[in-house]
A and B are shown apart, each in its own frame.
Chain A
Amino acid sequence: DQQVKQNSPSLSVQEGRISILNCDYTNSMFDYFLWYKKYPAEGPTFLISISSIKDKNEDGRFTVFLNKSAKHLSLHIVPSQPGDSAVYFCAASGINSGNTPLVFGKGTRLSVIA
């Protein structure tokens, strides 16, 4: 039973264009969502997060959108750069449900082509 789903294993985007990574979740108790970025041989690093009381959070080139009714979130990277090439993990937690551990999706490998 996968509670956090990233249905696209990979994505290729031209440098300078927008990258859109998608994530769906099934557990309605999730109220906090995060995106992590992972390079090979390194641990995931935090990128951006959003609380369920918001529908958008922006940090520089990165914007996360949350659609609670659809249980869907997306990460937009504009403009995409070759250094953004990595695996991106979506994660969810129930902060107000007793601090449940982060549940991760399987990841989407983003390749930004110069």
Chain B
Amino acid sequence: KAGVTQTPRYLIKTRGQQVTLSCSPISGHRSVSWYQQTPGQGLQFLFEYFSETQRNKGNFPGRFSGRQFSNSRSEMNVSTLELGDSALYLCASSLVAGGEFNYGYTFGSGTRLTVV
């Protein structure tokens, strides 16, 4: 079956711009989570959506937002980009909220965002 698809794979934006990243979960998965990975900081939780509702939110400023559509696809938006937003943004999906008991989440390959 198709995995988690993230688009685009790479993105270069200018400071102050806004960006939208897209994630299509595995078919049938209703939970989508977003993580930010930066060197030395590991994976930091942004938010989780389940059935179009935000279930959990990490400790990120309000410039980071997301949404989930009725087909479970999700988008995250970052407004007023800062240099420090340069990171790999990972999307993960699972059947149930919080991850599957046996394997947690299935991750996509990520979107590499560079802010210049």
Q: Mark A1-22, 1 if CB is under 8 A from B, else 0.
A: 0000010010000000000000
Q: Mark A80-113, 1 if CB is under 8 A from B, else 0.
A: 0000000001010101001111111111000000
Residue of B nearest to A6 (CB): B42
A99 lies within 8 A of B43 (CB)? no
* Residue B4 lies at the interface, judged by CB distance under 8 Å to chain A: yes
A101 lies within 8 A of B33 (CB)? yes
A102 lies within 8 A of B104 (CB)? yes
B107 lies within 8 A of A44 (CB)? yes
**Residues of B in contact with A, size category:** 20 to 34
Number of A-B contacts (CB under 8 A): 73
Q: Distance (Å) between the CB of A112 and the closest chain B CB?
A: 21
A43 lies within 8 A of B107 (CB)? yes
Contact stretch, chosen from B11-19, B68-76, B90-98: B90-98
The interface centre, meaning the residue of A9, A34, A105 with most chain B CB atoms within 10 A of its CB, is: A34
Q: Distance (Å) between the CB of A83 and the closest chain B CB?
A: 19
Q: A44-B43, A44-B90 are in contact. Are A99 and B97 (CB under 8 A)?
A: yes
- Complex contacts, B35 vs chain A, CB 8 Å: 104
The interface centre, meaning the residue of B41, B42, B90, B102 with most chain A CB atoms within 10 A of its CB, is: B42
Determine which of B58, B90, B92, B98 lies in contact with A93 in the assembled complex, contact meaning CB atoms within 8 Å. B98
- Complex contacts, B41 vs chain A, CB 8 Å: 106
A101 lies within 8 A of B107 (CB)? no
Determine which of B42, B48, B55 lies in contact with A106 in the assembled complex, contact meaning CB atoms within 8 Å. B42
A101 lies within 8 A of B101 (CB)? no
* Residue A74 lies at the interface, judged by CB distance under 8 Å to chain B: no
Q: A43-B90, A44-B90, A101-B48 are in contact. Are A32 and B43 (CB under 8 A)?
A: no
Q: Distance (Å) between the CB of B7 and the closest chain A CB?
A: 14
- Residues of B at the A interface (CB closer than 8 Å) are 4, 33, 35, 40-45, 48, 55-56, 58, 90, 92, 96-99, 101-110, 112
